[in-house]
Amino acid sequence: MNKPIVEVDKLSKLYKLGDIGTSSLRDSVESWWAGLRGERHKLIARRAKDRLIASERMGPTPDTFWSLKDISFNVQKGEVIGILGRNGAGKSTLLKILSRITEPTKGRAIVRGRVVSLLEVGTGFHPELTGRENVFLNGAILGMKRTEIARKFDEIVEFAEVGPFIDTPVKRYSSGMYVRLAFAVAAHLEPDVLMVDEVLAVGDAAFQKKCLGKMSEVRNQYGRTVFFVSHNMGAIRSLCETAVLIDNGRLVMHDTPQNVISHYLSSAVSKDSESEGQIFWDTETEPPPGSDEIFLRGIRITNGDEKPQSLFEADQAIRVEIHYQVQTRLRGARFKLSVMTQEGEIAFVATDHLFQSEVLTPGAYRTVCNIPGGLLNRRTYIIGISCEIPGERSLIAQGEYLSFTISGAGNQASHYPETWPGAVCPRIEWNVEKLELDELTQRKLEEAALD
Amino acid sequence: MSHSATPENYEIVIEPNRGWMRIDWRSLWEYRDLLLLFVRREFVSKYKQTILGPAWFVLNPLLTAAVFAVFFGRVAKIPTDGIPPGLFYLCGLLAWSYFSQVVTTGAATFQAHTGLFSKVYFPRLTVPLSVVISTLCAFALQLITFFGFFLYYKLCVPEASGLRPTWHVILLPLLLVQTAALSLGVTLWMTAATVKYRDLMHLNQFIMQLWMYATPVIYPLSQMPVKLTWLAWINPMCAVEEAFRLSLLGRGTLHPGYVVSSIVVTLLIFYSGVLFYQRIERTIADIA
């Protein structure tokens, strides 16, 4: 009776490098010819050069690598489990296997119930069809019966706030409406297991809040199991009961969200910042964060001069430089800098939105944020960067890249030996003065002193 | 809870290479609503934003038949078993255009859905199956057109007066099922092979053209050179074409051996196609 709803047992997935799997006829002929002449190993070595892979992920042959390796864990019915890990750690592969989009190479998983995955919202939306038709089509693709969709139709339309446009082809929708409708369909499904991946990276703040609300409703009211992959640590902490951390295809940790988040943040950063205070991607050897449209070249933190550093006095201003490359013309993009504590609590988020031109033309850019001195507390912070077109789409998914530590004098906390609470500790002016007292009070005080 | 029709012992086991040897009819049935929506979308999207709309389903074979009548009938003077050329080609195109339409649109539809395959699970067979079913609508329209022309020829053209459907016509639905199974099998073979080797995308059309000339569409089976009769044994469409003519117009020669081999080859192509497709489909998300 109390079997876990999801059992994952030594799940592994092997991927081929390079043009994954698609062999053109030429490739096949080439490898056949190479095999004929006994030069196969040379060919494999040449193809493997396409990408660099951490040695622990190397597969049995040089042109393969483990996207997932021996992952095992159980999830109980009604549990909401957060999945954390850096980009490319294998989170999406895990969800894809569990939702039967792709099959594992080794191991097995048992899922006791209907699964619906939202790997990307709006899957199967057809631009020519109206909102109404798409709701039915999308619902059916996600495994709902027609009667089920019909019953929930009004609720879905209301949730998506697209009422008057429901009979308009979705190609005329704004991207915000599109996403809202897509999420609404998905949110009203009644699966036993729901898998959510980065869905909340889109939509405006109010809608995101609504989605989070819907998710906790799904958990509380219907007792559904939810797999939740997100970079929103706050959401993971407040929604999830447990969390797993996946790194390099392996399960590193399965614990409370709080512990997993701290571990993730400290490990994510220490790994990347080989030289303290800066990180630059060598596009030759590894894909930088971003997309075809825009990608990060590097991040550097300094105290104003060119030298990167990671230790700051509390009263020093901190200069965060973000270097990036724009590949296509972009309108309305903005960078967001999140400064988080090691526990994943957000101290503040800042954006360059109002300080830059509306249109970015292709080229290399640098955006600089000056965090004033005397603002932060005496502790270690983590810097997260993301880029998006507000309300439309995410361009560079949020990633945590660098950490820095505030110490020494300069803010009020530095006068005390104990750790001062708070994500920030701004230098706030106090004014203490001795007040001139009126005669009556003066006399009362003197009498009291005489007694 | 209002819904939650999930039975207690519902269990999905996810393992490598599981179950591609059998056809999962149960999950296809569970997703029947999706299948119907795909069918509808396939049918509607074909003529949406065209001026003549569904009339194209009728016009297309008519125009093809007219072109055939001019080039193969008048110019090349290929004999037609005594059937007026227009009627002969129209009849020949019934089964053939169904077959070729399923195969060509099937491959294209699959390409259009690969993005979807990498994001959400549903029985992958629904996509090609929806093409097989939606093309049936086109076939029905074409059949009606054919009967219209048949009546016209019978009443107005003296040499057509002797043509009449034979009792075989009651086998027409079975014949159609065979054609559907065959076209599905070929579609699955082609899509699966195209996924593996993109180059084949360009070859598919060429293959279909060759196949048409290897099938008695523009000539009767009786005109097939003796040296090439082996084609009639291995090409299941030969017997299908001739059976269509025999049952609808009462003309044609059908060796029972052809029929049997046609059915056997159809079953082979169908089943192997499904297996190959299901084998490829398991990892399609990694490729797309």
| pLDDT at residue B1, as a whole number | 36
Of A113, A120, A123, Cβ closest to residue B6: A113
Helix, strand, coil proportions of chain A in percent (round to 5)? 30, 30, 35
The pLDDT of residue B202 is: 81
ipTM higher than the 0.85 cut: no
Partner residue opposite A128 with nearest CB, options B3, B10, B45: B45
pLDDT at position B49 is 65
Q: Is the pLDDT of residue A322 over 90?
A: yes
CB-side neighbour CA atoms (13 Å) of A305 = 2
The angle, 0 to 180 degrees and rounded to 10, between the axes of the packed helices A175-187 and A205-222 is 0
Which of residues A410 and B203 earns the better pLDDT score?
Answer: B203
CA angle B159, B161, B165 (to 5 degrees): 120
Nearest CA to CA, how far is A64 from chain B (Å)?
13
- What is residue B182's predicted lDDT score, i.e. its pLDDT? 95
Q: What pLDDT, in 10s, does the model give residues A358-381?
A: 888 999 999 999 998 888 888 888
Cβ of B6 and A114 within 8 Å? yes
Partners of A119 on chain B (C-beta within 8 Å) are 119-120
In the numeric block, the tokens 């002797």 are attached to B162
Nearest to A105 among B16, B49, B117 (CB): B16
CB-nearest partner of A24 from B1, B45, B198: B198
| Terminal C-alpha separation, chain A | 78
Is the minimum CB–CB distance between A98 and chain B shorter than 8 Å? Answer: yes
Per-residue model confidence (pLDDT) at position A20: 42
Taking CA–CA distances from B200, the nearest residue in chain A reads A25
Instruction: Supply A417's token pair.
Output: 């030996």
Domain range summary for chain A, segments of one domain joined by +: 6-22+57-265, 23-52, 278-415
Sort out which chain B residues have CB atoms less than 8 A from A15's CB and list them: 286
Nearest in space to A308 (alpha carbons), one of A243, A382, A232, A403: A403
What pLDDT is attached to residue B130? 92
Residues of chain A with Cβ-Cβ distance to B119 below 8 Å are 101, 117, 119-120, 123
CB neighbours of A211 closer than 8 A, spacing ≥ 6? A183, A187, A199, A200, A203
Residues of B near A (Cβ–Cβ under 8 Å) read: 1, 3-4, 6, 10-18, 30-31, 33-34, 37, 41, 45, 48-49, 116-122, 195-200, 282-287
The two structure tokens encoding residue B197: 């080797």
Q: Terminal CA-to-CA distance of chain B, rounded, Å?
A: 38
Residue A88 has pLDDT above 90, yes or no: no
- Give me the residues paired with residue B170 across strands: none
Q: Do domains A6-22+57-265 and A278-415 have the same CATH topology?
A: no
The pLDDT-based confidence of A17 (bands split at 50, 70, 90) is low
Alpha helix (H) residue ranges in A172-293: 175-187, 205-222, 233-239, 257-272
pLDDT band, very low/low/confident/very high, at A417 (cuts 50, 70, 90): low
Q: Residue A171: how many CB atoms within 10 A of its CB?
A: 12
Mean pLDDT, rounded, for A277-305 = 83
Query: What integer pLDDT is reported at residue B264 of this predicted model?
Result: 94
Task: Supply the pLDDT for residue B271.
Answer: 92
Mean pLDDT of all residues belonging to chain A: 79
B6 contact residues in A (CB cutoff 8 A): 113-114, 192
**Position with higher pLDDT, A151 vs A220:** A151
H or E element that contains A108: strand A106-111
Q: What pLDDT, on the 0 to 100 scale, is given for residue B18? A: 64
Residue A311, pLDDT above cutoff 60:
yes
pLDDT at A101 over 50: yes
Contacts of A145 in chain B (CB under 8 A): 33
User: What tens-digit pLDDT sequence spans chain B (288 residues)?
Assistant: 334 445 556 788 888 876 666 777 888 888 888 899 888 888 777 776 677 777 877 888 888 888 888 888 778 778 877 788 888 888 888 899 999 989 988 888 887 787 778 777 888 889 999 999 999 988 998 899 888 888 888 888 777 777 777 887 888 899 999 999 999 999 999 988 888 777 777 888 889 989 998 888 888 888 888 888 888 888 999 989 889 888 888 877 778 888 899 999 999 999 999 988 888 877 776 764
Instruction: Quote the minimal CA–CA distance from B268 to chain A in Å.
Output: 25
Question: Which class is A278-415 in CATH?
Answer: mainly beta
Q: Quote the pTM value.
A: 0.70
Structure tokens, B243: 């059976």
Dump pLDDT digits (tens) for A166-188: 888 888 888 778 878 887 887 77
Is the pLDDT higher at A275 or at A82?
A: A82
Mark yes or no for CB contact A142/B282 under 8 Å.
no
Q: Which CATH superfamily is domain A6-22+57-265 in?
A: P-loop containing nucleotide triphosphate hydrolases (3.40.50.300)
pLDDT at A22 over 50: no
- Two structure tokens written together for A17: 């490098």
What are the backbone angles phi and psi of residue A111, rounded to the nearest 5°? -120, 120
Residue carrying the six token digits 């296997």: A97
The bridge status of strand A363-371 relative to strand A115-118 is unpaired
Give A286's DSSP letter. S
How many angstroms separate the CA atoms of A57 and A64, rounded? 9
Length of chain B: 288
Q: How confident is the model at residue A193 (pLDDT cuts 50, 70, 90)?
A: confident
Partner-chain contact A101 B118, CB within 8 Å: yes
Kindly tell me if the per-residue pLDDT of A74 is higher than 50. yes
Q: How confident is the model at residue A49 (pLDDT cuts 50, 70, 90)?
A: very low
Residue of chain B nearest A128, judged by CA positions: B45
Model confidence pLDDT, tens digit, residues A229-251: 876 777 788 778 899 998 888 89
What is each CA distance from B129 to A414, B107, B136, B181, in whole angstroms?
71, 12, 11, 10
The pLDDT score that the predictor gives to residue A124 is 67
Tens digit of each residue's pLDDT (9 = 90 or more) over A104-128: 888 989 988 888 776 666 666 777 7
